[in-house]
A and B are shown apart, each in its own frame.
Chain A
Amino acid sequence: MSTFLQQLINGISLGAIYSLIALGYTMVYGVLKLINFAHGDVYMVGAFMGYYLANGLGVRAAQAIGMSANGLVARGLLGSGDLQPSLVTALIVMLLAMAICAALGVIIERLAYRPVRKYSRLTALITAIGVSLLLENGGQVVFGADPKFFPELFKKRNIDLVGGASINSADVVVLIIALALMIGLQLVVYRSKTGRAMRAVSFNLQSAKLMGINTDRIIAFTFALGSALAAAAGVLVAIRIPRIDPLMGILVGLKAFVAAVLGGIGNIPGAMLGGLLIGITETMVVGYLSPTYKDAVAFAILILILLFRPSGLLGTVAQEKV
C-alpha cells in the first residue's frame, strides 16, 4: 500500500509537469492545427535558462533577496518554518525563464511558422521538425552536450505522510506551482478578452479574422503562453531531478504530446488530465514492472487511444464539413 501511495505521489508530481507541457501542444494545435514538435525543446531551453539564471544571479545573492522577504512565501504556502527562504529565488528564476521562453516562442512563430502558414500543413510540420532539431543541436553547441547539474534553489527534505509514504518538498512545490499556473491559464483562456479571442481563433480562424480579431497577434500570444508554461515545466523538472541536457526535451515532449492526444487534442482540461494519467501510469510501471520500459508506456497508451478513442478522453468528434 505504501508503495502504491508513494508511486501515486511521484506520478502526480511527474504528471503535473507533463500536463504543463501538454497544454502548450494542445493550445497551438487548437489555433493552428500544427503539431509543434519544437515544444519539447522549448521546455529544454527553459530548464537551461533556469540553470544560467540561477547561476548568473548567484544562488547566494539570490538567497539574500529571498532573506529580505523572510520566507513569507514559503511559510505562507507550506506552514512549515524549516524550508529555506530561497524558495522566492526559485520563483524569480522560474518567472524569468518563462519570460525568456515566451519570447523564444514568439520568435519561432514569427520567423519559422508564419512564413509557411500559407503552404500545406505538411510543410509546417516539416518546419516544426526543423526548428526542433535546430534547438536540440544548437543547444548542444551553445550549452555543451554534457549534462549539467541544476543548482539547488531551496533545501529539499522529505515530509512523512500517513501510510508510510513520504513526499519531497520539491514535489510539493512542483504541485503547487503547476496548479497555480493551470488555474492562471484557465482564467486567461476563459475569463479574459484575449482568451476569448484565442477560443474564437481555435474555433474557426477565418471567421475570427472576419470578426476583426488580429489572428496573427492571437497566434503569437498562444505561442508565448505555451512556451512560458513549457519553461515553467523545465525549471520544475530541474528542481525535482537536477540533471539537465540538451536532448532532454525529445522524450518528454513526445510523452506530453501523447498526453495531449489522450485528453483530446485542442482541449485544455483534457491536456491536464492526460498529463496526470500518463505520469501516474509511468511511475506505476516503474514501481511494479520494470523501469526499463517506462518510455514504452506512453507509446502503448497512444496506440490504444488511437485504436479505441481517437478523439481523446475529453475531446469531441469533429464533424468534417465539405
Chain B
Amino acid sequence: MNILISAYQTILYQPLFNALVFLYQYLPGRDFGMAVIVLTALIRILFYPLMIKSIKSQKVLSELQPKIQEIQQKYKNDKEKQAKATMELYQKEKINPFGGCLPLLIQLPILIALYQVFWRGLQPEQLSQLYSFVPNPGAIHPLFLGIMNLAQPSLILAVLAGISQFFQTKMVTPKTPKVKKDQGQMAQFSGMMQKQMLYFFPIFTVLILLRLPAAIGLYWIVTTLFSILQQYLVFAKRTPADIMQKHA
C-alpha cells in the first residue's frame, strides 16, 4: 500500500504540482487562476487522442442516424433491448463510436491527482516538492484576475460550475419520450431517476464546491466545458441537411 502511495506521489502528484508552479511563474500576469486554467486545459488536450477514433466514426454514425432512430422508436419502452439492437447495428456496420472503459479508468487517477494539486498545492510546505529546475516562487498568491482569492470558497465559481455541470449532464441524458402510465414501474422509475439526476448533480456540485478552495471550482468549470465540447464533437446530432452542406 505504501509503495502505491509513494508511486502516486512521484508519478502523478509531483509532476503536476511542478507544472502548476512552472505555469504560475512563467505565464504573463503571474495569475494563479490562469495557471489552473492552462494546466487543466493541457491535461484535457493530452487525453484528446483517446477520443479521436470515436470522433472519426462520427461520419459513419450520422449516416446511420435514420436506422438508429428506427431502433429507438421500435424499442422505446425497453432501454435494454434498445441498447442491444443499437450495438448490433454498430457491429454490423463495423463501427464503434465509444472510446472504451479502460481509457476512461486510466484518466481517473490523473484527474484525481490534478484535483489534489489544486487543493493542497497552495500550502507553503508543498514548495519543498519542487524539482531543481523549477524556480521557487517563495509564495503563491492565489488570485484569479487579480481579485478572486482561489484559496477560499467562491459562490460565483461554484454556481458557474453547477450550471456547466447541468448542461453536461443534460447532454449525456438521452431524450426520453414521456413515460406513460402503462409502461411498467421499472421504466417509470428509471425515467424519474434520470430526470432527478439532471438536477441533483449540479446542485450537489455547487454544495460541495462551496466548501472547497475556489481553485477546484475553476478546475471543475474548465474540465466540464471540455467534456461538453468533446461530447458535442462525438454525438452532435446532425440532420441530413447539415451533412449535405458539409459535403457540398
Does chain A bind chain B? no
Residue ranges of B at the interface with A (Cβ–Cβ < 8 Å): none
Residues of chain A whose beta carbon lies under 8 Å from any beta carbon of chain B: none
